[in-house]
């Protein structure tokens, strides 16, 4: 219900529309005809016109704000009465209020900090001028078209005495949801009471809800006095943990444990928001390079193929044919018809094999000695066999034998030699030729049996 009809001219101000109503006043947007500008016109509702206390409080607001000149305090342009109705003319703020912002949800921390840092100096300035607001809340923080914040509604403000002693209030006044514990109990007040109320406003801006709620104003006031505030980070999980101790300190029950000024609260919130985000519980801070390595390993694992229930058949890898070592010569199989080269000991030293057992060298030498002995016995046995099977003739001469070669001579001389050559081909006897280094198996080189020359 509008107390004044739209279009009514009051003291040179034409009413354009009603902006809002409160418990103690109604606000209209009006046009100042003399200055050709829009202003805010605040009037006292008719039901309070017969209450002396309400009239005094309304006039007091005009006088208090008139003495406060700060860029973040809504200024007063004029004060007057129309048909016995008092009114206050103030600057019109077309950006709404913080309460309008909260209607859409919580406010981002950076935006909250911007608003706080604008109004905190205004409160500190008012406190230095011995003025307490006593009713700071979101609807009393207005915004202009640029989004800048201003403090308004000093309707229940109190002026401290000139000797700086707090003035005892007569009764409890204010909004219970934003009352300090000392204000709810009717104790003496100072600037730290406004700091508490500012902490409640900041809590609501960040968390989206007020710290204390109740069914009645009395229940809410009791909670401010007796209960600790809830965790704002639980109410709004998107908040950084660093802001929680800031809000808890601002809402201390004991005023000596709070921030002593509004600007201290603003500085603490700025410092908290500048801190890096806290790690979740259980996480360990690691080197950046290790973090990158772990991320890379995780990415590789994510690209690995998933193993099927039936494993694929195992394929044997192709045999790798390695070229022969240049230091090892490959020997061809023995062929009696092919002349064999003499062993000169010029072969390259073979690559030493891993040592297997202590008796390997002993076995090699034993085998070599056995083979040499066998060859010698075979040669001797062959000579004895020839000697026993040859029958001498009347024309033959005495036969001569040699231990390593058999050569038969007859009386006929060369004919007998030729006959003997045709009858018995040259026999080849294996001869063991030592190599430069001992090997596991001796090298057998075919060697022709040469005749032993006989001196006449």
pLDDT, tens digit (0-9, with 9 covering 90-100), for 335-355: 556 555 544 444 444 455 555
Q: Which of 66-80, 120-134, 242-256, 305-319 has the lowest mean pLDDT?
A: 305-319
Q: Find residue 87's DSSP bridge partners.
A: 43, 80
Residues 126 and 220 in one domain: yes
Residues 364 and 410 in one domain: yes
Band of residue 84 on the pLDDT scale cut at 50, 70, 90 = confident
Contact 235, 192 (CB under 8 A): no
What is the structure's pLDDT at 386?
Answer: 54
Residues 197 and 54 in one domain: no
Q: Return all residues near 149 (Cβ < 8 A) that are at least 6 apart.
A: 72, 98, 114, 115, 118, 119, 141, 142, 143
Q: Give the tens place of pLDDT for each residue, 263-319.
A: 999 999 999 999 886 554 444 444 445 556 656 666 666 665 545 545 555 565 555
Residues 87 and 102 in one domain: no
Residues 47 and 141 in one domain: no
Encoded tokens for 300? 């590789």
Residues 244 and 370 in one domain: no
Asked if residue 349 belongs to a domain, the reply is: no
- Among candidate residues 56, 110, 135, 153, the one labeled active-site is 135
Asked if residue 294 belongs to a domain, the reply is: no
As a dihedral over the C-alpha atoms of residue 313, residue 318, residue 319, residue 324, rounded to 10 degrees, the angle is: -160
Tell me what the mean pLDDT of segment 389-394 comes to.
Answer: 50
**What residues make up the domain containing 65?**
9-91
Asked if residue 102 belongs to a domain, the reply is: yes
| CATH code of the domain in which 199 resides | 1.10.510.10
Contact 141, 207 (CB under 8 A): no
Which residue shows structure tokens 């923080």? 141
Asked if residue 405 belongs to a domain, the reply is: yes
Band of residue 6 on the pLDDT scale cut at 50, 70, 90 = very high
Q: Which of 306-310, 383-387, 435-439 has the highest mean pLDDT?
A: 383-387
Whether residue 437 is predicted with pLDDT greater than 50 in this model: the reply is no
What is the structure's pLDDT at 332?
Answer: 56
Asked if residue 348 belongs to a domain, the reply is: no
Residues 123 and 237 in one domain: yes
What is the structure's pLDDT at 372?
Answer: 80
Contact 13, 25 (CB under 8 A): no
End position of a domain, from candidates 67, 91, 115: 91
What is the structure's pLDDT at 441?
Answer: 46
What is the structure's pLDDT at 394?
Answer: 43
What is the structure's pLDDT at 336?
Answer: 57
CA 216 – CA 28 distance, rounded (Å): 30
Whether residue 106 is predicted with pLDDT greater than 50 in this model: the reply is yes
Whether residue 148 is predicted with pLDDT greater than 70 in this model: the reply is yes
Q: 142 by DSSP, 3-state: which?
A: strand
pLDDT cut 70: percent of the chain above it: 59
- Look up 135 and say whether it is catalytic: yes
């Amino acid at each position: 219900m509008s107390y004044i009809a739209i279009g009514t001219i009051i003291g040179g101000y034409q009413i354009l529309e009603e902006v809002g109503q409160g418990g103690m006043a109604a606000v209209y947007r009006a046009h100042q005809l003399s200055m050709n500008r829009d202003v805010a016109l605040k009037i006292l509702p008719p039901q309070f016109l017969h209450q002396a206390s309400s009239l005094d409080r309304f006039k007091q607001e005009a006088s208090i704000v008139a003495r406060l000149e700060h860029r973040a305090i809504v200024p007063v342009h004029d004060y007057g009465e129309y048909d016995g109705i008092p009114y206050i003319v103030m600057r019109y703020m077309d950006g709404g209020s913080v309460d309008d912002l909260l209607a859409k949800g919580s406010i981002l921390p950076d935006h909250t900090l911007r608003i706080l840092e604008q109004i905190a100096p205004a409160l500190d300035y008012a406190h230095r001028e011995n003025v307490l607001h006593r009713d700071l809340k979101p609807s009393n923080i207005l915004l202009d078209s640029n989004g800048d914040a201003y403090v308004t509604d000093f309707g229940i403000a109190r002026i401290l005495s000139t000797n700086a002693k707090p003035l005892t209030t007569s009764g409890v006044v204010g909004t219970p949801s934003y009352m300090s514990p000392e204000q709810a109990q009717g104790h003496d007040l100072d600037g730290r009471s406004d700091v508490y109320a500012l902490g409640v406003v900041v809590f609501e801006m960040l968390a989206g809800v007020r710290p204390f709620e109740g069914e009645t104003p009395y229940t809410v006031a009791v909670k401010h006095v007796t209960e600790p505030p809830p965790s704002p980070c639980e109410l709004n999980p998107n908040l950084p943990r660093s802001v929680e101790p800031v809000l808890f300190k601002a809402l201390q029950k004991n005023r000596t444990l709070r921030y002593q000024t509004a600007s201290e609260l603003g500085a603490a919130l700025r410092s908290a928001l500048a801190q890096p985000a806290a790690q979740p519980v259980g996480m360990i801070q690691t080197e950046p390079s290790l973090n990158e390595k772990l991320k890379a390993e995780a990415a590789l694992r994510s690209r690995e193929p998933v193993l099927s229930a039936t494993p694929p058949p195992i394929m044997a890898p192709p045999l790798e044919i390695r070229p022969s070592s240049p230091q090892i010569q490959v020997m061809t199989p023995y062929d009696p018809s092919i002349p064999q080269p003499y062993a000169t000991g010029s072969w390259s030293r073979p690559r030493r094999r891993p040592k297997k057992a202590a008796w390997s060298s002993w076995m090699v030498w034993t085998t070599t000695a056995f083979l040499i002995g066998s060859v010698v016995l075979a040669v001797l046995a062959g000579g004895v066999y020839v000697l026993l099977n040859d029958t001498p003739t009347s024309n033959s001469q005495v036969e001569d034998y040699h231990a390593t070669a058999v050569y038969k001579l007859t009386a006929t001389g060369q004919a007998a030699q030729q006959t003997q050559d045709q009858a018995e081909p040259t026999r080849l006897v294996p001869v063991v030729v030592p190599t430069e280094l001992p090997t596991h198996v001796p090298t057998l080189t075919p060697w022709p049996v040469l005749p032993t020359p006989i001196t006449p």
